[in-house]
Chain A
Amino acid sequence: KQEVTQIPAALSVPEGENLVLNCSFTDSAIYNLQWFRQDPGKGLTSLLLIQSSQREQTSGRLNASLDKSSGRSTLYIAASQPGDSATYLCAVRGSSSGSARQLTFGSGTQLTVLP
């Protein structure tokens, strides 16, 4: 059974810092990995999706990397801003017939960027 872990559970940084959020998964047989952000009281917003054949994806100040063999992904946020404060979740979609139908989520990293 796939398990997804996110460390740290919470992170507080001053504005302007570059930071890295970590995600690890136990089963490397994945289709893709997706990073989301969730604001309080809201649903999830998709940030980046990395296919299993890719090593990284970039969108603006965000860069996500994937090392499938070691079961790890990182989300790099450059020049952090108070508006980046949210909970960041990673999720993997399995590639086996039973696990491809759903995403397995980590429990998230709660990020606070202090002005």
Chain B
Amino acid sequence: GAGVSQSPSNKVTEKGKDVELRCDPISGHTALYWYRQSLGQGLEFLIYFQGNSAPDKSGLPSDRFSAERTGGSVSTLTIQRTQQEDSAVYLCASSLDRGRSSPLHFGNGTRLTVT
């Protein structure tokens, strides 16, 4: 596709269940980011993948959060044993690289609601 694709667009889950969120970056983009946006808050960095380098996981809020990127393309963000405070919009972005002239392109996000 032409842009970053995220699925599902909406997810409602019960507290304690695991969820998987998917991101398809723009073809050829080597850098992939996950951000979280809570109601009325700014964007919170979660994790960054660049090519085959080890991911920067410094933004993951707890060990219940993990992410992987298979084949340098599709990424999955997994939240285990979801809590109500995990409710937020999870945004994925990709860029050509982390160089000076590479803007980020965002998907429309997955709105996660934990009941």
Contact = CB atoms under 8 A, between A and B. Distances in A.
Q: Is chain B a partner of chain A in the same complex? A: yes
Interface of A: 4, 31-32, 34, 36, 41-46, 49, 51-52, 89, 91, 93, 100-108
A103 B104 CA distance: 9
Interface in B1-40: 4, 6, 33, 35
A52 B65 CA distance: 33
Nearest to B33: A102
What does DSSP make chain A's interface, helix, strand, loop or mixed? strand
Interface of B: 4, 6, 33, 35, 41-43, 45, 48, 50, 56, 59, 91, 93, 98, 100-101, 103-109, 111
B46 to A, nearest CB: 9
Contacts of B100: 31-32, 51-52
B48 A43 contact: no
B4 A46 contact: no
Contacts of A45: 106
B98 A34 contact: no
B41 A107 contact: yes
Given A31-B100, A32-B100, A51-B101, A89 B106 contact: no
Contacts of A32: 100-101
A51 B99 CA distance: 10
A68 B88 CA distance: 32
Contacts of B106: 36, 43-46
B4 A43 contact: yes
A101 B48 contact: yes
A71 to B, nearest CB: 17
Contacts of B59: 102
Contact of A42 (B42, B45, B98, B108): B108
Contacts of B35: 105
B104 A46 contact: yes
A34 B103 contact: yes
Given A101-B48, A108-B42, A43 B56 contact: no
A31 B45 CA distance: 17
Contacts of B98: 93, 100-101
